[in-house]
């Protein structure tokens, strides 16, 4: 080996922590993260979710304490999701937009107490629907697209009035981004952003989330409106339409099995890309950590970095608070 010569040795740029940090290409920061939070009615409640260790349903008073603790460590963006009591649900999801509803009260409370917080709100019927679907269900079980849009518009407008910074339609109805954009603009909310669930797949990874909200469909499934996991070109069609209709962010959900979709959207569209690191992905990590199979900090850091490397500007993740507190990113 005395005469062996190699001009290019990539390991030279890995030989020390200083150099590795110097040439690092991607970073995950608190500013990239959005923390989903679950809300329940009542007072002094902090309910555990069996399939999501470390994540809770909060009554509004405890929600405010949780938001404050997050703001104190630099986590400033939150996506709120309501757990609605079964007897309040109906076919038209009226609890989503009536005055005094749980969700609207929660948005108002957070913005009143912490105006610096960025509040992302969910637009879909399933948490409030007696059918458990994201759209209006006909007598014969069909999910009615155009009739649903009017309900989604009411929801978005009510959330904007309550103080939402970003409206996030997660329903996957055709045309909902343009419909919501028009409703918001007509009522003076042209500065409220839309983070569209652009490529939301009919995934097995949503189970813990549906437990948290108790919002699973009462009949059938969501495959007529959520996307087939086998398809990627379809995501480009959805992204083109959402861009044309006025979206401000394009979201991919779930994230880990769809990094290729995140990358494609990032390369082909100029809008910021969001990734939803969903409940099932979170639960898998937590279960492995509890069994001693994975190092939690390194695993979470690697997962979030993978999403950033693929092109996600914003990452919705249940790991957000722990990742910042424990310096996993």
Q: Is 214 left (phi over 0), alpha (psi -120 to 50) or beta?
A: left
Q: Is 170 left (phi over 0), alpha (psi -120 to 50) or beta?
A: alpha
200 included as an active-site residue: yes
For residues 55 and 279, give the distance between their C-alpha atoms in angstroms, rounded to a whole number: 10
**Token reading at 111:** 């913005």
Q: 294: how many CB neighbours lie within 10 A of its CB?
A: 17
- At 118, give phi and psi (nearest 5°): -95, 120
111 included as an active-site residue: no
Closest CA to 150 of 90, 223, 96: 96
**Token reading at 59:** 């009554």
- At 50, give phi and psi (nearest 5°): -55, -40
Close Cβ partners of 213 (under 8 Å, ≥ 6 residues apart): 38, 81, 82, 83, 84, 126, 127
Integer CA distances (angstroms), 144 to 124, 134, 189, 215, 226, in order = 13, 10, 27, 19, 14
Integer CA distances (angstroms), 306 to 27, 34, 186, 287, in order = 10, 16, 39, 20
Residue in 89, 154, 200, 286 annotated catalytic = 200
**Residue whose entry in the numeric block shows the structure tokens 């008073």:** 61
For residues 69 and 15, give the distance between their C-alpha atoms in angstroms, rounded to a whole number: 38
For residues 150 and 179, give the distance between their C-alpha atoms in angstroms, rounded to a whole number: 8
Residue in 89, 154, 222, 253 annotated catalytic = 253
Beta strand 46-48 with 56-58: parallel, antiparallel or unpaired?
A: antiparallel
Residues with a catalytic annotation lie at 200, 253
């Amino acid at each position: 080996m005395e005469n062996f010569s190699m001009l290019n040795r990539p390991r030279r740029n890995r030989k020390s922590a200083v150099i590795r940090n110097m040439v690092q290409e991607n970073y995950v920061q608190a500013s990239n993260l959005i923390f989903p939070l679950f809300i329940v009615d009542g007072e002094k409640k902090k309910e555990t979710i069996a399939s999501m260790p470390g994540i809770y349903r909060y009554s509004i008073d405890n929600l405010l304490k949780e938001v404050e603790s997050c703001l104190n460590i630099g986590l400033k963006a939150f996506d709120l999701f309501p757990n609605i009591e079964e007897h309040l649900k109906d076919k038209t999801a009226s609890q989503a937009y009536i005055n005094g509803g749980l969700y609207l009260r929660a948005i108002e409370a957070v913005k009143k107490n912490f105006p610096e917080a960025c509040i992302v709100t969910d637009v879909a019927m399933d948490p409030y629907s007696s059918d458990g679907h994201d759209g209006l269900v006909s007598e014969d079980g069909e999910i009615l697209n155009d009739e649903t849009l009017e309900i989604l518009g009411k929801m978005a407008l009510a959330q904007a009035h309550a103080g939402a910074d970003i409206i996030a339609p997660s329903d996957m109805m055709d045309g909902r981004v343009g419909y919501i954009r028009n409703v918001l603009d007509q009522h003076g909310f042209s500065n409220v952003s839309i983070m569209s669930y652009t490529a939301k797949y009919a995934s097995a990874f949503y189970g813990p989330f549906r437990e948290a909200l108790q919002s699973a469909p009462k009949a059938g499934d969501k495959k007529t409106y959520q996307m087939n996991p086998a398809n990627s070109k379809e995501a480009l069609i959805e992204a083109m339409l959402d861009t044309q209709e006025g979206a401000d962010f394009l979201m991919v959900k779930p994230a880990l099995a769809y990094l290729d979709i995140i990358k494609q959207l990032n390369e082909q569209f100029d809008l910021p890309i969001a990734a939803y690191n969903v409940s099932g992905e979170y639960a898998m990590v937590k279960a492995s950590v509890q069994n001693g199979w994975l190092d939690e900090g390194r695993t979470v850091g690697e997962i979030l970095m993978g999403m950033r490397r693929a092109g996600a500007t914003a990452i919705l993740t249940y790991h957000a608070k722990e990742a910042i507190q424990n310096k996993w990113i």
